[in-house]
Amino acid sequence: MKSYTVRKYQTSDYPLWNEFVANAKNATFLFHRDFMEYHQDRFEDFSLLVFDEKNHLKAILPANRVGDNLYSHQGLTYGGVLLQHNIKLSDFVSIAKSIFQFLTVLEFKKIIFKLIPSIYSQIPSDELQYLSFLLNGNLVRRDVLSVLDLNSSFIFSLDRKNGIKRGIKNDLKIKEESNFESFWNEILIPNLSEKHQVKPVHSLEEIQYLHDKFPKKIRQFNVYKNSKIVAGTTIFETNLVAHSQYISGNSDKSELGSLDFLHDYLISSVFKDKKYFDFGISNENQGKNINEGLLYWKESFGARSVVQNFYEIEIKNYTLLENVLI
């Protein structure tokens, strides 16, 4: 096996880390330190860097610590080990072993991975999925994303087509805006509070901060009727995927056709050259339940299922990697 050195991230690694993220085969802007650190007060960062014998950075692991457990960063939608394009499976086995040995010395007990859905990788990158099998990882959760393949021959259902027609009939207007206040305060927060008794994952101040840091990656599209906001969606845009991070409309959204009208515009115009449009999950209860109405709406655009797996692995199991390569 090849030899690798692992160490903990430090602030002086900021430019090195971000340059690696920009060129990794399975990374998005969510792993940029400016995104990771917007909520650093909530997590004890324990991100790792992995170097080869020539001191070249070959892999990174965005992570946080909770007691003697390590999590692929809990403040991010997905995570895992980010890799250079030229890393092969045999290299990854050695990299993984080095990470687990490092964590063993520090007396960590478990590592919990929230895997990156396959659609977000530039090229095939299921090494961590395979590693979880090799190390007897426990599948503790599985979510289902509703994803529209924009290169396929998808067809909107009659319900969606009728919703789009209502949007046109109601003379709705769509605007892309750099200020998130009206959508957050007039639509999103009231809806989440009324229906689910929760707040958005991002506060208004946080999403505005992140947009200011990543103006081409975080985009807000609002729908207006007679100059009054009636719906909107917040898009996280990566190289291959446009993802609706937040989707919300007022109580008249069905009658107005606002969300159908908006997403037709996003899918057919703004993001038509992307590979995928990701509507996100419809899961509740740690993946065990599905909001059927929400799922129906997403699938009626032509979206279909892509899974996201969550694995829990005991650190001591790294010894199982000794005889994998024969």
The pLDDT assigned to 55 comes to: 97
The pLDDT assigned to 263 comes to: 98
pTM listed for this prediction: 0.95
**Same domain flag for 11 and 105:** yes
201, 202, 226, 250, 267 from 179: Cα distances, Å: 18, 14, 19, 19, 22
Count of CB atoms within 10 A of residue 178's CB?
11
Q: How confident is the model at residue 197 (pLDDT cuts 50, 70, 90)?
A: confident
- 3-class DSSP state of 78: coil
Of all residues in the chain, the percent with pLDDT exceeding 90 is 97
* Residue 76 maps to a domain: yes
**283 in Cβ contact with 294 (< 8 Å):** no
**Same domain flag for 179 and 108:** no
The pLDDT assigned to 200 comes to: 95
**Same domain flag for 136 and 24:** yes
**Same domain flag for 108 and 156:** no
User: Does the pLDDT value for residue 227 go beyond 90?
Assistant: yes
Amino acid at 34: D
Which backbone phi and psi does 61 adopt, to 5 degrees? -130, 100
User: Does the pLDDT value for residue 195 go beyond 90?
Assistant: no
User: Does the pLDDT value for residue 66 go beyond 80?
Assistant: yes
**Same domain flag for 14 and 133:** yes
Domain carrying residue 102: 5-142+308-321
Domain tally, the chain: 2
Which backbone phi and psi does 157 adopt, to 5 degrees? -70, 170
Instruction: Give CA–CA dist 230/77, Å, rounded.
Output: 27
Mean pLDDT for 49-56 is 97
Pairing mode, if any, of strands 63-66 and 44-45?
Answer: antiparallel
The pLDDT assigned to 232 comes to: 98
Query: Largest Cα–Cα distance of the chain, in whole Å?
Result: 69
Average pLDDT, the chain: 97
* Residue 147 maps to a domain: no
**Same domain flag for 136 and 157:** no
Q: For residue 232, give the CATH number of its domain.
A: 3.40.630.30
* Residue 233 maps to a domain: yes
**Same domain flag for 31 and 10:** yes
Instruction: Give CA–CA dist 17/71, Å, rounded.
Output: 18
Q: How confident is the model at residue 115 (pLDDT cuts 50, 70, 90)?
A: very high
**Same domain flag for 187 and 253:** yes
Residue 259, burial from CB neighbour count under 10 angstroms (0-12, 13-18, 19+): buried
31, 146, 186, 216, 278 from 306: Cα distances, Å: 21, 6, 32, 25, 9
The pLDDT assigned to 25 comes to: 97
Amino acid at 302: G
User: Does the pLDDT value for residue 234 go beyond 80?
Assistant: yes
User: Does the pLDDT value for residue 153 go beyond 90?
Assistant: yes
At 267-324, the pLDDT tens digits run 999 999 999 999 999 999 999 999 999 999 999 999 999 999 999 999 999 999 999 9
User: Does the pLDDT value for residue 2 go beyond 90?
Assistant: no
User: Does the pLDDT value for residue 1 go beyond 90?
Assistant: no
The pLDDT assigned to 103 comes to: 98
